[in-house]
């Protein structure tokens, strides 16, 4: 009985720890509707969640969660098809996890984990994800707001 309760508690803990918002594929394919290079899909400059919207949370040069702010510390994260972390989609050349850091693991053209290496992570389809902290998700659920709509509300 204790084992069942422990397994149930661990399952609940791990399913409630991570809530993420999908921002599309980091891709140069302008025909893929999930590509950030598609101006009519995930890359639309008028979509509030697009990294190409200069007035949105993820595209603004001033937002701490933006891919276009060179000082952002909470930029969107990149994951490949297997769920492996591939760095932050950030213009910050000093952040060790930024894909713009030419000396970092995810920005160096010589690193196998880098999107700048055509034989490394760049060969995979990469998803852009923004992690929503659990305290925000708890507040949203208490106010009956779905976490996927959080960025439009907060």
pLDDT tens digits, residue range 89-131?
Answer: 898 899 999 999 999 999 999 988 888 888 877 666 666 777 6
Least confident of 22-31, 40-49, 136-145: 136-145
**Pairing between strand 85-88 and 77-79?**
antiparallel
Examine residue 120 and state whether it is found in any structural domain, yes or no. Answer: yes
CB within 8 A of 35, min separation 6: which ones? 24, 25, 27, 28, 29, 41, 42, 43
Give CA separation, 70 vs 62, 76, 90, in Å.
9, 13, 7
**pLDDT at residue 33 above 80?**
yes
Number of domains in the chain: 1
Domain that includes residue 34, residue range? 24-131
Does the predicted TM-score (pTM) go above 0.75?
no
Give CA separation, 23 vs 43, 89, 92, in Å.
9, 11, 19
Examine residue 17 and state whether it is found in any structural domain, yes or no. Answer: no
- The three-state secondary structure class of 80 is coil
pLDDT band at 40 (very low <50, low <70, confident <90, very high): very high
The residue among 150 and 37 whose pLDDT is bigger is 37
Examine residue 67 and state whether it is found in any structural domain, yes or no. Answer: yes
Rounded to 5°, the CA angle 145-150-153 comes to: 85
What pLDDT digit, counting tens, does each position of 44-88 carry?
899 888 899 999 889 999 999 999 999 988 999 988 888 888 899
């Amino acid at each position: 009985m204790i084992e069942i309760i422990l397994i149930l508690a661990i399952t609940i803990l791990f399913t409630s720890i991570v809530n993420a918002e999908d921002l599309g594929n980091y891709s140069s394919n302008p025909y893929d509707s999930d590509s950030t290079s598609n101006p009519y899909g995930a890359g639309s400059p008028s979509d509030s969640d697009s990294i190409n919207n200069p007035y949105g949370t993820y595209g603004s040069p001033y937002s701490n969660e933006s891919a276009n702010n060179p000082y952002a510390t909470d930029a969107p994260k990149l994951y490949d098809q297997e769920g492996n972390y591939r760095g932050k989609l950030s213009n910050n050349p000093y952040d060790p996890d930024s894909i713009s850091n030419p000396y970092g693991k995810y920005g160096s053209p010589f690193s196998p984990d880098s999107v700048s290496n055509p034989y490394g992570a760049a060969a995979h389809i990469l998803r852009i994800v923004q992690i929503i902290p659990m305290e925000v998700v708890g507040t949203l659920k208490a106010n009956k707001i779905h976490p996927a709509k959080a960025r439009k509300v907060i």
